[in-house]
Amino acid sequence: PERKAVVSCKNMHHFRAGFTPLAADIMSCDSGGLTGYQYQRLTYHKLPRPIWPLDELLDESSTT
């Protein structure tokens, strides 16, 4: 991988330990896999709301 201009990895996080020392930059993209980076898109059941980071909280007293 150190001789390539671009390397693509199809996983979420555990590649970073091996590739961070080799990479000038790491770009993450949401490819719509099992759970992407946008947790607001998931359907939650039995979740007390509001809850950070899904909902914007106005103050500390609104947390549960």
* One-letter amino acid for residue 4 of the chain: K
- pLDDT tier for residue 36 given thresholds of 50, 70 and 90: low
Q: Which residue has the tokens 């059941």?
A: 45
Percent helix / strand / coil, the chain, rounded to 5: 15, 0, 85
Q: What is the pLDDT of residue 29?
A: 80
* Rounded Cα distance, 38 and 29, in Å: 11
pTM of the entire predicted model: 0.46
**23 or 64: which carries more pLDDT confidence?**
23
